[in-house]
Amino acid sequence: MSGSYKKLRIGYSSGSARMVNERAIDSNWVRYMGQHAELVPIPPLALYRLFGGSVERFVRDWPKSLQRMSEGLLELRNHYDLQTLYLNIPALAPYLFMGRTAGGIDLGFLIIAHSVASEHWLRQWLGIAPFLSERDVLLCSTPSSKEALCRISPRYRLAKVIPLAIERRDWHEVEDSLGRRNGRRLLSIGRLEDVKNMELLLRTFAAVRDVLPDARLTVAGEYTGRNRLQIEGYKARITELLATLELGEHLFFANAVEGKEKEALFSEADLLVNVSTDPGETFGYNLLEAKAWGVPAICAGWNGFRDVVNDGEDGLLVPCEWDGPSPAVDECQASKAVLSLLMDDGLRRRMSRKAVASAERYDYRNIFPAVVREVELAAESAMSEPEQMNVIAMMGQSLPQLGRLYQAEHLRKLPFLEQSLLRIVTSRSETPLTEWMPLVKPIASHYAGRNAYAEH
């Protein structure tokens, strides 16, 4: 570790993320980054104080709240002596960018593009684009995520492609777990929501059990959605499907898992299955966790999955096309892929060892020096007199009025195209998934491998 790293002071919110998957990434990120830079924990209340207590209060008091935000952000920077602020509460990001720009504050932001093309995140990226500068470090975990951002705005050419990181397991620990696997245990881990294609997963498992009756599937995750009505509705759909498929004791729901409970599931699993076509999916952190444990992955050929899984080496990619309004995963090929590995012990074990080897690419000891170096370079680009712009006027304009700042040809289907930028950022995301996918297709069509949209 070089002495220069310790001179870099990076602030971050010391609170915990609400979602389990976000907590898994964020807690590791802070721990890894702390080995290469001086991290400064900031109480979440100190950040929310910039908003007058809540984002809702900030929006209600607009535009007076913008000046309060700028003054508070400058005070926070000076109090903690920060060069960079890691935005690990993503929902606050657009507003912090506004406040910094309005006040001309010399403070860099570090932010991860955990998602791009979901409605919620797309609104965020539209709001951030005008204010992103060379003082910031925006990290994309895969090239396809950066391409999606660049289809939103040319400002996102500033993004850096650096993958997420993992801590590798001790080889003896992995060898021990390999010896305890029986070739019949499947694992699915993540949120339970319509975008994750749970119905397809369950039908695939039913097809697998027609051939291997002793196969078992563990589904670890919590039902999520925009509101309680959506969550309960989807839960009812899954319950009805389960009654039809009669999977019985061969299917186990583990709810959301963390820490040793999650590690135990990975150590026992023969395969990880992920058939998500979530438009917000950028990487698939559970694929990295599987690699660390030597668990081959069967997943949709979708977005970042194609960058993480080496098809035919440490896992298999199931064909995924976007020829129609929504992406489609080949269900027949999914069950064939699972069966091909469960029924071939030699192939599965070879893939397990290759998965462990490929995890080296994502070792945090290799990734985080590169991350901190990008933050250092951005800090060196600090301006003595940061450029100020009329944030209030800009937030009052629509996307077409902002002209070349956005890639109009990819955004024209959006239902909020003519709304003010402020309204876009502050409004709720309520478009149903079946309606949203065709609208966002011009931005994210490349997430699926071959698709008719990209060919015409």
- Where do we find the tokens 């995750």? 221
Domain hosting residue 18, numbered range: 3-165+365-395
pLDDT per residue as tens digits for the range 239-248: 999 999 999 8
Q: Supply angle C-alpha 322, 327, 333, rounded to 5.
A: 95
- Residue type for 251, please? L
Average pLDDT over residues 59-78: 97
DSSP 176: H
What is the average pLDDT across 353-369?
A: 95
Residue 2 has pLDDT above 60, yes or no: no
Residues sharing a CB contact under 8 Å with residue 236, sequence separation 6 or more, in sequence order: none
Instruction: Give the pLDDT band (50/70/90) at residue 396.
Output: very high
CA distance 206 to 251: 10
Same domain, 74 and 148: yes
Looking at the fold, whether 215 and 345 belong to one and the same domain comes out as yes
Residues 101 and 154 in one domain: yes
Amino acid 130: pLDDT: 97
119 occurs within a structural domain: yes
- Which has more pLDDT, 191 or 455? 191
State the DSSP code for 381: T
**Measuring CA to CA, how many Å separate 379 from each of 110, 231, 371, 393?**
11, 43, 13, 28
Crossing angle of helices 93-103 and 119-128, in 10° steps, is 10
pLDDT band with cut points at 50, 70 and 90 for residue 4: very low
Same domain, 208 and 85: no
Most confident of 52-61, 219-228, 384-393: 52-61
388 pLDDT exceeds 70?
A: no
- Whether 55 shows a pLDDT value over 70: the answer reads yes
The domain total for the chain is 2
CA 266-267-269 angle, to 5 degrees, is 60
Residue 455 has pLDDT above 70, yes or no: no
How much is the pLDDT for 245? 95
- What does the radius of gyration of the chain's CA atoms come to, in whole angstroms? 23
Same domain, 55 and 22: yes
pLDDT over 50 (residue 456): no
**Measured distance CA(198)–CA(234) in Å, rounded:** 10
Same domain membership, residue 221 and residue 134: no
pLDDT at 453: 29
- Asked if residue 80 and residue 127 are part of one domain, the reply reads yes
Beta carbons within 10 angstroms of residue 270's beta carbon: 23
Among candidates 322, 279, 273, which has minimal Cα distance to 300? 273
> Is 441 within a domain?
no
Q: Are residues 103 and 175 in the same domain?
A: no
* 99 and 116 in a common domain: yes
Mean pLDDT, to the nearest integer, of 238-264? 92
Pick from 96, 160, 16: nearest CA to 425: 96
How much is the pTM? 0.91
Token couple for 159: 């993004």
Q: 67 with 104, same domain? A: yes
Does some domain include residue 129? yes
Look at residue 110 and give its three-state secondary structure: strand
In percent, the amount of the chain with pLDDT more than 90 equals 80
User: Are 281 and 300 within 8 A, CB to CB?
Assistant: no
Residue-level pLDDT at 26: 76
Whether 383 has a pLDDT exceeding 70, the answer reads no
End residue of a domain, out of 337, 362, 387: 362
Predicted local distance difference test score (pLDDT) of residue 226: 81
Whether the per-residue pLDDT at 5 is higher than 80: the answer is no
Q: Are 108 and 84 in contact (CB under 8 A)?
A: yes
Tokens for 15? 């609170």
> Is the distance from CB of 417 to CB of 398 less than 8 angstroms?
yes
| pLDDT score recorded for residue 38 | 93
- Please indicate, yes or no, whether residues 145 and 272 belong to a single structural domain of this protein: no
- CA pair distance 356, 294, nearest whole angstrom: 5
E-strand ranges in 29-99 read 38-42, 84-86
Per-residue model confidence (pLDDT) at position 1: 43
Backbone angles phi, psi at 274, to 5 degrees: -140, 105
Confidence of residue 20 (pLDDT cuts 50, 70, 90): low
Per-residue pLDDT at 18:
62
Q: Of 378, 395, 412, which marks where a domain is finished?
A: 395
Check whether 17 has a pLDDT greater than 70: no
Select the more confidently predicted residue: 11 or 3: 11
161 pairs with which residues across the strands? Answer: 140
Distance CA 117, CA 125 (A): 9
Residues 310 and 249 in one domain: yes
- What span, in angstroms and rounded, lies between the C-alpha atoms of 342 and 182? 9
| Interval 416-451: pLDDT, tens | 999 999 999 999 998 999 999 999 999 999 999 743
Mean pLDDT of the residues in the chain: 91
In a domain, 411, yes or no: no
Cα 255 from Cα 253, distance rounded (Å): 6
Q: What is the predicted pLDDT for the residue at 363?
A: 96
pLDDT for position 153: 98
| Structural domain includes residue 434 | no
Give the contacts of 270 (CB within 8 A, at least 6 positions apart).
181, 182, 183, 184, 185, 186, 295, 296, 341, 342, 348
- For the stretch 119-167, pLDDT in tens is 999 999 999 999 999 999 999 999 999 999 999 999 999 999 999 999 9
426 found inside a domain: no
CATH assignment at residue 210? 3.40.50.2000
Model confidence at 391: pLDDT above 90? yes
What angle in degrees, to the nearest 10, is found between the helix axes of 20-33 and 364-380?
70
29 pLDDT band, cuts 50/70/90, is: confident
pLDDT above 70 covers a percentage of the chain that reads 93
**Domain-terminating residue out of 350, 378, 395:** 395
- C-alpha 229/C-alpha 224 separation (Å) is 11
Read off the pLDDT of residues 275-327 as tens digits, 9 standing for 90 and up. 999 998 778 899 999 999 999 999 999 988 998 999 999 999 999 999 999 99
- 454 inside domain: no
Q: What is the pLDDT averaged over residues 341-364?
A: 96
User: Is residue 428 a part of any domain in this protein?
Assistant: no
